[in-house]
C-alpha cells in the first residue's frame, strides 16, 4: 500500500508542475473567405461562406463604401453579435468600416452589409479559428494614403506573441486588383464593376511576434485609398487542474 501511495505522490507532483505552467496561447488559423463583387446601390448586400462555419470561431467583416451619410453595419443569418473594430473613416473618395463577431454559433452562414438610406458596399469577411472567445480585438490602425503600395500601422504594440493580423483596404476611384503585402498569406480582392471600385482583405498569423503591426497592399497605380489594420488575440489553453487530478495531488484515491 505504501508503494501505491508513493506512485500517487509522484504522479501528483508531475501534475502539479504541469498545472502550475502558464496558459499557452494557440495560434489562429484562416478558415475561409466570403465576399460579394456585385453589390449595387442598395440598402443591403449579402454574401455567404462556401462551407459551414464552426461554432466558437471568429468572423471579421469589412466593407468599403461610397462617401454617403451613413456607414455600413454587419449582421449574419446565425444571429451572431457583431462589434465595431474600425469605425467609419475616409479620405476624399474612399471609406471603410470593419466589424467582428467572436465565439460564433456556427453553421451555414450568410453575412449582410446594411446601409441606412442605401449606398454601395464592397464587402468581404474572413472566418478564423483559434481566436479568443471573449474580447479578441487587440490593436487597430487606419490610414488614408494616396499610394500604389498603401499601408496602415497599429497605434500600439500587440499584447501577446501569437495574434492574427488582418488588413483591409478600399479604392473608390478604380476597380484595381489588390495584392497582399509581404508576410500576408491569405487574401481576397474584390473588383466591383457597378461602382468602378475595389476593396480587399488580407491576414497572417504571427508566431512570437511583438511591437506594432503593419498591413500593406499593392494596387499597381497611385490612388487615394482607405486602409485599416487589426490584430486579434489567440485563445489560451492549459494551466488548470480538474477535480480528479486535485485528488491525486492530495495523495488520495477516492
In a domain, 173, yes or no: yes
* Domain span at 90: 27-236
Q: Average pLDDT in the 171-199 region?
A: 95
Q: How many domains does the chain have?
A: 1
In a domain, 254, yes or no: no
In a domain, 126, yes or no: yes
**Cβ-contact 87, 79 below 8 angstroms:** no
Q: What is the pTM of this model?
A: 0.84
Average pLDDT, the chain: 86
pLDDT at 145: 95
In a domain, 1, yes or no: no
In a domain, 243, yes or no: no
Q: What is the pLDDT of residues 16-56, one digit of tens each?
A: 444 444 445 556 899 999 999 999 999 999 999 999 999 99
Is pLDDT larger for residue 161 or for residue 178? 178
pLDDT at 250: 37
Q: What is the pLDDT of residues 189-210, one digit of tens each?
A: 999 999 999 999 999 999 889 9
CA distance 65 to 120: 5
In a domain, 168, yes or no: yes
Confidence of residue 70 (pLDDT cuts 50, 70, 90): confident
Count CA within 13 A, CB hemisphere, residue 216. 10
Instruction: Assess whether pLDDT exceeds 80 at residue 160.
Output: yes
Percent above pLDDT 70 for the chain: 81
How many separate helices (H) and strands (E) can be counted in the chain?
A: 2, 20
Which residues are bridge partners to 30 per DSSP? Answer: 128
**Cβ-contact 160, 28 below 8 angstroms:** no
In a domain, 219, yes or no: yes
In a domain, 20, yes or no: no
Amino acid at each position: 500500500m505504501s508503494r501505491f501511495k508513493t506512485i500517487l505522490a509522484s504522479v501528483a507532483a508531475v501534475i502539479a508542475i504541469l498545472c502550475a505552467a502558464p496558459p499557452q496561447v494557440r495560434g489562429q488559423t484562416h478558415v475561409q473567405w466570403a465576399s460579394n463583387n456585385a453589390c449595387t446601390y442598395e440598402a443591403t448586400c449579402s454574401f455567404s461562406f462556401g462551407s459551414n462555419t464552426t461554432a466558437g470561431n471568429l468572423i471579421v467583416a469589412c466593407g468599403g463604401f461610397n462617401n454617403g451619410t451613413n456607414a455600413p453595419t454587419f449582421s449574419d443569418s446565425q444571429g451572431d453579435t457583431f462589434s465595431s473594430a474600425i469605425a467609419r473613416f475616409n479620405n476624399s473618395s474612399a471609406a471603410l468600416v470593419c466589424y467582428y463577431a467572436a465565439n460564433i454559433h456556427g453553421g451555414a452562414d450568410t453575412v449582410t452589409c446594411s446601409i441606412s438610406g442605401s449606398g454601395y458596399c464592397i464587402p468581404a469577411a474572413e472566418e478564423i479559428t483559434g481566436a479568443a472567445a471573449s474580447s479578441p480585438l487587440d490593436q487597430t490602425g487606419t490610414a488614408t494614403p494616396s499610394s500604389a503600395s498603401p499601408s496602415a500601422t497599429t497605434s500600439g504594440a500587440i499584447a501577446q506573441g501569437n495574434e492574427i493580423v488582418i488588413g483591409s483596404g478600399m479604392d473608390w476611384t478604380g476597380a484595381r486588383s489588390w495584392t497582399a503585402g509581404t508576410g500576408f498569406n491569405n487574401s481576397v480582392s474584390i473588383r466591383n464593376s457597378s461602382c468602378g471600385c475595389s476593396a480587399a482583405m488580407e491576414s497572417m498569423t504571427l508566431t512570437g511576434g511583438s511591437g506594432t503591426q503593419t498591413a500593406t497592399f499593392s494596387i499597381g497605380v497611385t490612388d487615394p485609398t482607405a486602409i485599416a489594420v487589426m490584430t486579434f488575440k489567440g485563445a489560451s489553453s492549459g494551466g488548470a487542474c480538474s477535480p480528479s487530478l486535485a485528488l491525486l495531488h492530495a495523495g488520495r484515491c477516492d
